[in-house]
Amino acid sequence: MIDLIRNYWLYFLVGQYPQGPLGGLALTLLLGVAALGLALPLGVVLGLARTSSHRVIRWPVTALVYVVRGTPLLMVIFWAYFFLPAITGQQTSQFNTMLAALVLFNGAYLAEIVRAGIQGIPRGQSECARALGLGYWQSMRAVILPQALRNMLPSLVAQFVTTLKETSLGYIIGLSEVSFIAGQINAQVLTKPVAVYTILALTYFVLCFGLSRIVRLLEKRTQRSSVVMP
């Protein structure tokens, strides 16, 4: 196992970079961070639309959320792989294809978390904000979302962890993220599949566990004001 790590650690971390494109763990992290960073705002926007009182806004978004949630991620990836080039008329890179699929898929899931979070805040809060003369956006931004996001934190983290793990499906379209690289290493070494995939598993575990812990710390730090009114 030591030999394995000694020979392949750089390949595992960055793929063929700098001779070839960036890959490996670095690409996984990049993809994960980009997907989360884009999916969260999308989820908030879709979640707000899901709670809108205007049907023209609520219905299409509801349909989109149901369709995406009723489809396996693998399907969405294939969709992105074959349809994005057809729509845009140009070749889409594997990274962008995967990113688009992850953002859409997780945006739909996050939308439901955001909707539940918003609807979980007592009606009196928005009534009161509006009675003070705050507009819809002002009351969302200053009163409802800060409380809702805090309540949503555990569900959000669970979704983030899922997203991070889902980047491994990039394998299927030949994206050289860390699972794909592990496959390559295994193909070269041939005799040590258990060791290779144990290292891969540990890598994912450390990432996901680390993410949960960081958020737990954040949660503790903001607890001071998260106490619910009696």
Partner 1 sequence: MIEFRNVTKFYGSFRALDDVTETIARGEVVVICGPSGSGKSTLIRTINRLEPIDSGQILLDGEDIHRPGLDVDRFRSGIGFVFQQFNLFPHLSVLENCTLAPMKVRGLSEAAARERALALLERVGLAGKAQSYPAQLSGGQQQRVAIARALAMEPPLMLFDEPTSALDPEMVSEVLLVIRDLAHKGQTLVIVTHEMGFAREVADRIFFMDEGRILERASPEDFFERPQHPRARQFLSDLRSPFARSV
Q: How far is the CB of 172 from partner 1 (least distance, A)?
A: 43
Nearer to partner 1, 87 or 229 (CB): 229
Element (DSSP H or E) covering residue 176:
none
Asked if 44 and 106 count as a contact pair (C-beta separation under 8 A), the reply is no
Q: How far is the CB of 227 from partner 1 (least distance, A)?
A: 4
Binders in 199-228 for partner 1, by CB under 8 A = 224-228
Using the rule CB under 8 A, is 132 a contact of partner 1?
Answer: yes
d(CA 183, CA 180): 5
Nearer to partner 1, 37 or 135 (CB): 135
Binders in 133-152 for partner 1, by CB under 8 A = 133-135, 138, 142-143, 146-147, 150
Residue 177's DSSP bridge partners are 24
Using the rule CB under 8 A, is 153 a contact of partner 1?
Answer: no
Task: Name the residue with tokens 């193909």.
Answer: 187
Using the rule CB under 8 A, is 125 a contact of partner 1?
Answer: yes
Asked if 77 and 173 count as a contact pair (C-beta separation under 8 A), the reply is yes
Q: How far is the CB of 118 from partner 1 (least distance, A)?
A: 14
3-class DSSP state for residue 22?
strand
Asked if 190 and 63 count as a contact pair (C-beta separation under 8 A), the reply is no
Q: Give me Rg for the CA atoms of the chain.
A: 21
Number of residues that bind partner 1 (CB under 8 A): 25
List the structure tokens of 142: 């200053």
Q: Looking at 2, 86, 87, 229, which residue binds partner 1 (CB under 8 A)?
A: 229
Asked if 121 and 148 count as a contact pair (C-beta separation under 8 A), the reply is yes
Q: Looking at 1, 10, 67, 131, which residue binds partner 1 (CB under 8 A)?
A: 131
Q: How far is the CB of 155 from partner 1 (least distance, A)?
A: 18
Say which DSSP state 155 is in: H
Q: Looking at 124, 194, 198, 218, which residue binds partner 1 (CB under 8 A)?
A: 124
Q: Looking at 130, 155, 172, 173, which residue binds partner 1 (CB under 8 A)?
A: 130
Using the rule CB under 8 A, is 53 a contact of partner 1?
Answer: no
Nearer to partner 1, 88 or 226 (CB): 226
* Residues 59-83 as b or e (16 or more Cβ within 10 Å = b): eebbebbeebeeeebeebbeebbee
Binding site for partner 1 (CB under 8 A): 122, 124-125, 127-135, 138, 142-143, 146-147, 150, 224-230
